[in-house]
């Protein structure tokens, strides 16, 4: 089955995987492998029925299995169960970025912004702080009144990729919080890099 899958023969591979699972119905790995084939061809309802059986079988429980369950529950419009298994997937491995990203999309849909902030906190350092996602996290933190966490995020983002926009945003927040010594230190860094930095001059004047 695995050899056929590697050769792109998905239908035959699924057939052989089904034979393998039918020969050993208590095998969790084989059951979830078959579920993956079924989900890949769009049979989400059929796949979920088998997945509900697979999750009760003995064997190693993995982040990818939980993510597959979450995806199938989402496709079958059971969002509560989908959220439950996405959370278990991320808890089992915070390196499973596909699961974390899909979980974030679900959390946007159901508007669970507290959990979404937590997931962004896990994802952003691993994907090198893309601007659009950082902006979304900053907006969530602002609405939650968590300016200190926003400053920490901008500090980490700037340290990681040296984007001057992150430092400017951080300086603005430091000034907003009245943390003037830290904001002035940031301004001095700007001047050290560019003595003609007009933004730094505006900050220093303020």
**pLDDT tens, 123-157?**
999 999 999 999 999 999 989 989 889 999 999 99
Contact 112, 87 (CB under 8 A): no
**3-class SS string, the chain:** CHHHHHCCCHHHHHHHHHHHHHHCCCCHHHHHHHHHHHHHCCCHHHHHHHHHHHCCCCCCCCHHHHHHHHHHHHHCCCHHHHHHHHHHHHHHCCCCHHHHHHHHHHHHHHCCHHHHHHHHHHHCCCCCCCHHHHHHHHHHHHHCCCHHHHHHHHHHHHHHHCCHHHHHHHHHHHHHCCCHHHHHHHHHHHHHHCCCCHHHHHHHHC
- pLDDT in the model for residue 98: 95
Residue 105: what pLDDT? Answer: 96
Look at the block and give the residue holding tokens 């952003």: 124
Sorting pLDDT into bands at 50, 70 and 90, what band is 187?
A: confident
* Cα–Cα–Cα angle for 54, 49, 99, rounded to 5 degrees: 65
* pTM metric for this prediction: 0.84
C-alpha triplet 114, 154, 88: angle, nearest 5°: 35
Banded pLDDT at 184 (limits 50, 70, 90): confident
> With bands split at pLDDT 50, 70 and 90, how would you rate the model's confidence at 202?
confident
Structure confidence by residue, pLDDT tens digits, 24-80 = 999 999 999 999 999 999 999 999 999 999 999 999 999 999 999 999 999 999 999
**CB-based contact 28:54 (threshold 8 Å):** yes
Across the range 176-205, mean pLDDT stands at 82
């Amino acid at each position: 089955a695995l050899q056929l899958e590697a050769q792109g023969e998905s239908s035959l591979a699924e057939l052989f995987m089904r034979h393998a699972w039918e020969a050993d119905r208590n095998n969790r790995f084989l059951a979830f492998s078959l579920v993956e084939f079924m989900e890949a061809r769009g049979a989400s309802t059929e796949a979920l029925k088998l997945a509900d059986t697979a999750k009760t079988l003995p064997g190693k429980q993995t982040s990818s299995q939980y993510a597959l369950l979450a995806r199938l529950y989402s496709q079958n419009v059971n969002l509560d169960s989908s959220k439950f298994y996405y959370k278990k997937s991320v808890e089992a491995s915070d390196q499973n970025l596909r699961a974390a990203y899909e979980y974030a999309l679900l959390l946007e849909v159901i508007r669970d912004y507290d959990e979404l902030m937590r997931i962004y906190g896990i994802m952003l350092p691993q994907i090198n702080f893309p601007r659009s996602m950082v902006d979304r996290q900053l907006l969530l933190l602002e609405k939650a009144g968590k300016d200190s966490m926003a400053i920490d995020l901008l500090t980490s983002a700037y340290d990681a990729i040296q984007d001057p926009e992150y430092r400017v945003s951080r300086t603005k927040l430091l000034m907003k919080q009245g943390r003037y010594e830290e904001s002035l230190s940031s301004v001095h860094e700007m001047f050290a890099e560019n003595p003609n930095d007009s933004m730094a001059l505006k900050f220093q004047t303020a």
